[in-house]
Structure 1
Amino acid sequence: MTAPARPRGSEELIRAEEPVLAHNYHPLPVVVARAEGCWVEDVEGRRYLDLLAGYSALNFGHRHPALVEAAHRQLDRLTLTSRAFHNDRLAGFAERLAALTGTDMVLPMNTGAEAVESAVKVARKWAYDVKGVPDGRATIVVAADNFHGRTTTIVSFSTDETARSGFGPFTPGFRIVPYNDLAALESAVDETTAAVLIEPVQGEAGVIVPDDGYLTGVRELTRRAGCLFVADEIQSGLGRTGHTLAVEHESVRPDVVLLGKALGGGIVPVSAVVGRREVLGVLHPGEHGSTFGGNPLAAAVGTAVVELLETGEYQRRAAELAPVLRDGLRALTGRGVVGFRSRGLWAGVDVDPALGTGREISERLMREGVLVKDTHGSTIRLAPPLTITRGELEGALGTLEKVLTA
């Protein structure tokens, strides 16, 4: 009889990854084996408070019971048909997601990058079919320091050299302007502009929150110019900032909104392009598609996510705990924190470089039982599950204080 496999510890498992996994990530040295709610446990049984939440993919925490139940229920019935056939879950998911976001039509996809790529295609098609831009001349205006994904087209309009270098030639048709600068945006928009594509809050850049009135200005400018406003809410949407969508902070309604991450509840990849019928309606059969987009399992989980958000509970929790996060970081300013930006349960924290890089601060927090992730330089991001309690959040801020002032 074959002996049972010997359990392997963190160091052994990390070493095992080196020869077989492409080195496109540099994870923190923790090997997660189990998770529940806001907490994860590694292979040695150590527990950590998760303050990253899968870059907002785990807005409802790990293994939320309603989402797990929806997945189990659907796994016993049907998982995939492709879009060659109808399935009994997709229409209901689309109807409820459209109602939640105040839109008319839904294009289901899988990943956030797919949603962005889909929006680029839709905006160009709309420009040619509706606006009358000459074929092949449509342009899309984007913001510097954006993060919309890492596909070839998307890195073509990135200003992050780590994402771009070595991956050209790049896709033309994009104009880059500074974020939070309406004058620069207006100067870049002309008769060829199909859309302005921005993040209402720039996540990867360090949770950059624009000035009040910026999103309203983008909406007014695009309306005057006769082009689309496309809001990438893949990280900022679905409760993260205290509203269903971050654009709601200024009561703005874009033409197209991109959703992902939390839409799959941390269980399956689910994304969607939602928007006005006259925009998404430019697509015809055969012009765009996805074998897994809108699959029954994704639709079942996505519907359960929408049901959680329909109650407003998670948006309220983010709004109610926002001052706890903000005030806790404000109290640390000058005591290791040199600056921060926050909106809802989301913050970018600039640590004094003399104390270490963002990576080093993240590793010290990990050793104290709190998981975060660095971004550029000495900046770390905090994005806890929306299920976190006030006590857990205050405890995490206390741990950050300990790490910065030790």
Structure 2
Amino acid sequence: MTTSLTDDPRFTGLREAAHALQPNTVALRRLLHRHPEQGLALPRTQRAVLDALAGLDLRITTGRELGSVVAVLDGGKPGPAVLLRGDMDALPLQEDTDLAFASEVDGTMHACGHDTHTAMLASAARLLHERRAELAGQVVFMFQPGEEGHHGARFMLEEGLLEAADAPVEKALALHITSKEESGVLRCRRGPIMASANMFTITVTGRGGHASMPSDACDPVPAAAAMVGALQTAVTRRISVFEPAVLTIARITAGTTSNIIPETAELEGTLRALSEETRKTMLEEIRRVCEHVGAAHGCTVAFDFTPGYPVTVNDDDVADRVLDLSSAVLGPKHTSVMPNPIMGAEDWSYVLQRVPGAMAFLGACAPGTTPADAAPNHSNRVVFDEAAFPNGVAVYAAFALDALR
């Protein structure tokens, strides 16, 4: 990395400006956190975003089939476009924190920090609006629903996200908050940063009977149990140790009571990989292993594979630039190269298939705890440090100012 950007006048006062907007950022975040919504239709969240952008000179459109918001800011001179994203949807989870602004919706919680992403992006829009004369081009602000398994980014692309600006989108950035890093620290890396995801269900069918006479039945439970071990072995024996893959059987269901051998057993799991080749190999291997283990037990096997998100791959040059900008704006102590990808999945991957861009992680470990001990994203107890928000706002703004010089 380099700190040669430190004295660039475009970035002067960005952190201070982001800090000045902190009351707006926190207020929007807490409003969204109290009233989380799931999926693709987020009427209350969409309304809150529109209210937060009110009064700004933006060209705003909302989704035709989903609760998205796209806002375009025109710079002082013509030029290309840059895309910034904040996702908006929550998770099906009952919140169990002591926050004064905890979720008021039963069974729904902003446990992945999408409320923080949306609030930071709205404040970045306001900050960049104040500096729009410095922009040679346009900024597209992407407020996205349905990231949590609903393919919201793909639907926004299909509805014309990349055509919202008058010029081609040349670069894109999304920030993702995490409680497992020091507050305010930004981390990014070249290449794969998040994994692909596939969900699968395996149904093993035998022949039911009395539990006291298994020889008169064909028990699918031992077959299903054998498949779990065989699949883990397949990962270690079929995939190179230098090609990460995670295969987890997360649910096994069979039977109704203690004295009945069931006819069927069902396994449900997920496959994560950092390359399409590994993903394809393992999907074929899951089918092969389970069919043969099932046959050895006299059972038949049926599969249901659900394609998830592709691998999230950062553009090398954009990732390097994000790190340089972070070092210049936040300081080297608040910037680091992420050594390894994580095996979670992101539908930002769809955008990065179309536009050179990056995802970066913003640490927000809560005060009084350490990253190692902090409840992670997707936990019912996760808490994010709001003091990290100005750093996210400043990096969003710096990225646009740099891309649209």
What's the TM-score once normalised by structure 1's chain length? 0.28
Which has the larger share of strand? 2
Larger radius of gyration: 2
Work out which structure has the larger RCO, using CA pairs closer than 8 Å and 6 or more positions apart in sequence: 2
What's the TM-score once normalised by structure 2's chain length? 0.28
